[in-house]
């Protein structure tokens, strides 16, 4: 079958997974996107084919490059409203980020998104990841579910502990909130029944210590760790819990 010159033919098995990954990540670097696509069956495995596919989607206006050169060593992408409309045409709709959304994700979220991408990829490399639902997917689920999570977590993650699949909610705290905001968060966490553990990763020790104090009254199973430590050690990271301030391996908390 011949197509009109310069027309773009969307491949459901190759283009759509790429666009979904960008949407669900909010922001993603070129290198991260390439690595994610290596885990999808049917996706181009060569760097040249991936680069060609990405250029096509950029040139057609389905992706855009963010002007934030210091955020990553490679270009950072965000999906456009045209890209969202294309996904919706194929049945991929979310209630929180869609083609009629007034504002696309703000560039202030870039570092937060890239760090979460990095954690997800690290878990994949170690064959620990059984499932990852991004904040876009979690928030959309919460909008329509009769049994929602009590909070729009940064991710809901399934990992393998041996042959057992275990779920936890992930929050990444890069800066501190107000006392009133933490009061609302405490109330939400106290009511959480959908996940057995909530892991808070922080951008520094000072934030970690503050969170431990803020959440001291919460009876939910909470764990706290420094994000760089978790990125290196993953399930073997020593985390602080409200029951064990001296520290315990995260895999023990999950058990």
Number of domains the chain contains: 2
Residues 6+ apart with CB under 8 A from 198: 153, 168, 169, 170, 171, 189, 192, 220, 221, 222, 223
Alpha carbon distances (Å) from 153 to 35, 53, 69, 121, 132: 24, 31, 28, 18, 12
- pLDDT at residue 9 greater than cutoff 90: no
pLDDT (0 to 100) of residue 107:
94
Three-class DSSP labels, 130-162: EEEEEHHHHHHHHHHCCCCCCCCCCEEEEEEEC
pLDDT band at residue 169 using 50, 70 and 90 as cut-offs: very high
Cα 203 from Cα 207, distance rounded (Å): 7
The CATH number covering residue 40 comes to 1.10.10.10
pLDDT (0 to 100) of residue 1:
42
Q: How many Cα atoms occupy the beta-carbon half-sphere of 231 within 13 Å?
A: 14
pLDDT (0 to 100) of residue 28:
97
Range of the domain at 220: 126-255
Which residue in 191, 181, 184 sits closest to 150, CA to CA? 191
Cα 188 from Cα 90, distance rounded (Å): 34
Q: Are 147 and 139 in contact (CB under 8 A)?
A: no
Q: Do 70 and 151 fall into the same domain?
A: no
203-221 pLDDT per residue, tens: 999 999 999 999 998 999 9
127-159 pLDDT per residue, tens: 999 999 999 999 999 999 999 999 999 999 999
Q: How many Cα atoms occupy the beta-carbon half-sphere of 246 within 13 Å?
A: 0
Domain boundary among 107, 142, 172: 107
Q: Are 152 and 138 in contact (CB under 8 A)?
A: yes
Q: Do 22 and 138 fall into the same domain?
A: no
pLDDT band at residue 3 using 50, 70 and 90 as cut-offs: very low
β-strands 198-202, 222-226: how paired? Answer: parallel
Q: Could you tell me if residue 120 is inside a domain?
A: no
CB atoms inside a 10 Å sphere around CB 13: 10
pLDDT band at residue 71 using 50, 70 and 90 as cut-offs: low
Domain boundary among 45, 75, 107: 107
Domain boundary among 107, 137, 152: 107
Q: Are 136 and 24 in contact (CB under 8 A)?
A: yes
pLDDT band at residue 197 using 50, 70 and 90 as cut-offs: very high
Cα 169 from Cα 137, distance rounded (Å): 13
Q: Do 168 and 79 fall into the same domain?
A: no
Which residue in 111, 122, 115, 118 sits closest to 236, CA to CA? 122
């Amino acid at each position: 079958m011949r197509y009109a010159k310069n027309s773009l033919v969307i491949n459901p098995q190759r283009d759509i997974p790429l666009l979904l990954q960008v949407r669900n990540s909010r922001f993603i670097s070129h290198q991260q996107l390439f690595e994610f696509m290596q885990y999808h069956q049917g996706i181009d495995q060569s760097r040249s084919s991936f680069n060609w596919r990405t250029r096509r989607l950029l040139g057609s206006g389905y992706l855009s490059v963010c002007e934030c050169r210091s955020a990553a060593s490679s270009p950072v992408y965000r999906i456009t409203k045209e890209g969202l409309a294309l996904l919706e045409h194929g049945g991929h709709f979310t209630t929180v980020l869609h083609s009629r959304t007034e504002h696309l994700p703000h560039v202030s979220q870039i570092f937060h998104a890239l760090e979460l991408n990095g954690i997800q990829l690290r878990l994949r490399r170690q064959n620990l990841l059984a499932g990852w639902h991004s904040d876009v997917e979690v928030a959309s689920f919460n909008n329509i579910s009769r049994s929602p999570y009590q909070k729009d977590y940064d991710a809901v993650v399934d990992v393998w502990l041996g042959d057992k699949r275990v779920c936890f909610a992930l929050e990444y705290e890069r800066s501190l909130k107000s006392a009133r905001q933490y009061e609302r968060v405490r109330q939400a966490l106290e009511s959480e029944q959908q996940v057995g553990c909530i892991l808070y990763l922080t951008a520094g020790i000072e934030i970690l210590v503050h969170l431990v104090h803020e959440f001291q009254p919460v009876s939910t199973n909470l764990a706290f760790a420094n994000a760089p430590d978790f990125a290196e050690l993953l399930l073997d990271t020593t985390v602080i819990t409200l029951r064990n301030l001296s520290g315990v391996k995260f895999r023990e908390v999950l058990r």
